[in-house]
Amino acid sequence: MEVTLPPNIVITGAFRSGTTLLLLLFPYAFRDVITHEGEITALNVQLPSVYKWRVSKLPNDIHHVRILHEKLDPYIVYMLRDPRDSIVSWKEIKNDYHLSYDEWQRNLIFAESAKSPKLIILRFEDLISRPEQIENTIVERIQGIEKKCNFAECYKYMDSKSPYLHQLTHDSGPNRSRENIRPMDQSVIGSWRYDKVRIWQQLKKFPEMQATLEKYGYEKDDSWQRLLCKAETKRKKNPNRAKNDKSIIAIIPARKGSKRIPGKNTALLAGKSLVEHAIDIALEADIFSGIYVSTDDPKVISIAKERGVEVIKRPAVLANDNVVVDKALLHVVEHLEQHGQRFEAACLMTPTAPLRMVKDVRGAVQLLWEKDADFVITVALYDHSPFYALVIKNGILKPSFMSYDVFTNDSKSLQPLYRPIAVARIGRWGAIKKYGTTFSPGMVPYIIPPEHAVDIDNKIDFEWAEFLLKRRKQQNNLK
């Protein structure tokens, strides 16, 4: 009769600290290991003794660490993660954050209180970026455990149908992992930058966070806090803003390549690059929970960082001439969700519309809320009606889609037609994910004046925009 014994390796830690990922890797990386899939407490599980190493995992086990140490005497592997990344992790089912800094700190205190020589503290960031270092630490600290393969090679031994496989191959595609699994993708490190208001609030409430960051090697000093200045300034302007306002973000797409105007997004217009014009209007609007620049251009990245806004690096596959801008919009939405961030809406602000004004953006966003719409698109009346469009067939001019009567009737009888302008294209979060574009059923128009409605597509557009900006400045100086 087979004897069953309790686990002798317990993986634990604060929520969202990589405990599930480490549990996944153990049986593939080390010999004679059996694990339970999912979160199983070490206090009530028995595993077959035919295996030398029996591994359990449950974050809440850390609250029983003294009992574990006294009764089971297991190796306790505590996964440590940058507290800032942990406290911005969002739990959909609760519609709240997973934990606060004091909860994160209490978990660590529980672990250290066991005073067990078998306590092993590992950093989540090292597991992601330096997995070989974690492997070596485990072998050195757990006496008798034998390495079978490197963490980075575990995917070779997994079932091709395993829902975990893409976690080990850095796949951030449409296939999603099981609940609570974190990908081995270095972009998950530093996700706190997407919710600086939350960090500012927690740091103000728990100033000891700074000492913890320095103790565990996450920061050398407090210079990182300069990134929180904008969040603090907005909070002082209106301390109830996050509580009362609907959450919407601005997304500014600015890829590197442009065939008609090389370096278009960084080209100077009236002393500022196009991307700076877009960022500045988004900042001045003071209605966005976050501003994100999607780009593959190092120059744009530098500009965005100088302006204090976030950068989401765009994959090369989404940065060529054949990719529509909505693909970049969807990429940002999915990227933020992978980092635990979800908002009610997103506003696409393309740099090629530099004559947009703050009132245009604010008005379009307000219209979305008032109409309870899925989408709001800024539009302008066509200067010359497309109804008069002609095509050339066999050297002869013919109406493109109307009859010849259109040329003999009064133009005032023609239906007004509108063209979309890249000033602001706004969509509800769920609608963007559903349709993958902002041009979908339920679009509501926000009409802007023609002097704001310039989309730069060629050098003539650029020169026209420059003329209009100079005229606007002159008119403002006369007021």
Q: Which domains does the chain have, with CATH numbers?
A: 4-188 (3.40.50.300), 246-382+417-478 (3.90.550.10)
More confident residue, 322 or 93: 322
pTM: 0.57
The C-alpha atoms of residue 300 and residue 264 are separated, in whole angstroms, by 11
* Mean pLDDT value of segment 396-419: 77
Tokens (6 digits) for 352: 């090629």
Q: Does the pLDDT at position 5 exceed 70?
A: no
Q: With bands split at pLDDT 50, 70 and 90, how would you rate the model's confidence at 242?
A: very low
Place of tokens 């239906």: 415
> Contact 292/389 with Cβ under 8 angstroms?
no
The C-alpha atoms of residue 109 and residue 157 are separated, in whole angstroms, by 37
Average pLDDT, the chain: 81
> Contact 433/357 with Cβ under 8 angstroms?
no
Strand-pairing partners, residue 77, are: 11, 120
Tokens (6 digits) for 259: 């065939």
* Mean pLDDT value of segment 190-213: 88
What SS3 string covers 399-430? Answer: ECCCCHHHHCCCHHHCCCCEEEEEEEEEEEHH
Give tens-digit pLDDT for 445-454. 999 998 899 9
Lowest-pLDDT range of 81-95, 147-161, 209-223, 442-456: 147-161
Residue among 358, 343, 341, 326 at smallest CA distance from 425: 326
* Mean pLDDT value of segment 28-42: 79
pLDDT value at position 95?
64
Q: Does the pLDDT at position 183 exceed 60?
A: no
Give tens-digit pLDDT for 368-378. 999 989 999 99
pLDDT value at position 181?
38
Contacts of 8 (CB under 8 A, 6+ apart): 53, 54, 72, 74, 75
Contacts of 127 (CB under 8 A, 6+ apart): 18, 21, 22, 79, 134, 151, 184
Evaluated on CA atoms 388, 392, 398, 401, the torsion sign reads negative
The C-alpha atoms of residue 145 and residue 139 are separated, in whole angstroms, by 6
Distances in whole angstroms, Cα of residue 465 to Cα of each of 21, 449, 451: 52, 14, 9
Q: How many residues does the chain have?
A: 479
Helix/strand number for the chain, H first, E second = 16, 20
Please give the share of the chain, as a percent, with pLDDT higher than 70: 83
> Contact 424/356 with Cβ under 8 angstroms?
yes
* Mean pLDDT value of segment 276-285: 92
Distances in whole angstroms, Cα of residue 101 to Cα of each of 121, 283, 459: 18, 29, 52
The C-alpha atoms of residue 208 and residue 194 are separated, in whole angstroms, by 22
pLDDT value at position 105?
92
Q: Does the pLDDT at position 394 exceed 80?
A: yes
Tokens (6 digits) for 229: 């200045």
Residue among 312, 345, 324 at smallest CA distance from 426: 345
Lowest-pLDDT range of 47-56, 162-171, 381-390: 162-171
